[in-house]
Amino acid sequence: MEHSHLKDSRTCWIPYRKEIMDHSGDEFRITSDCHGSNRPHDALFLDLLIEEAHRLFPEDLKPRHFTDFEHCDECREHDETLRTHSRESITYAELGNPGYDPMCFVDEHGMKYYFPALVRLALRSTIKEYYVDQFLLHISYNRSCIRFSRVQCSLVIRVLKLLKIRFADEIELLGHSDEMRKCLERWYGLLEKCNHEERSESVGKR
In order of 12, 62, 139, 186, 196, the CA distances from 58 in angstroms are: 34, 9, 19, 24, 24
Q: Is 40 or 102 the residue whose CB approaches Zn ion more closely?
A: 102
Q: In the complex, what is the shortest distance from the CB of residue 74 to Zn ion, in angstroms, rounded to a whole number?
A: 5
In single-letter form, the type of residue at position 138 comes to H
Dihedral sign computed on CA atoms, order 151, 156, 161, 165 = positive
Q: In the complex, what is the shortest distance from the CB of residue 95 to Zn ion, in angstroms, rounded to a whole number?
A: 18
- Report d(CA 171, CA 78) in Å as an integer: 28
In single-letter form, the type of residue at position 108 comes to E
Q: Is 44 or 72 the residue whose CB approaches Zn ion more closely?
A: 72
Helix axes 14-22, 150-166, angle to 10 degrees: 170
Q: Is 75 or 104 the residue whose CB approaches Zn ion more closely?
A: 75
Chain contacts with Zn ion (rule: CB under 5 A): 71-72, 75
Q: In the complex, what is the shortest distance from the CB of residue 107 to Zn ion, in angstroms, rounded to a whole number?
A: 13
Alpha carbon 34 to its chain centroid, in Å, reads 25
Q: Is 105 or 114 the residue whose CB approaches Zn ion more closely?
A: 105
Q: In the complex, what is the shortest distance from the CB of residue 90 to Zn ion, in angstroms, rounded to a whole number?
A: 20
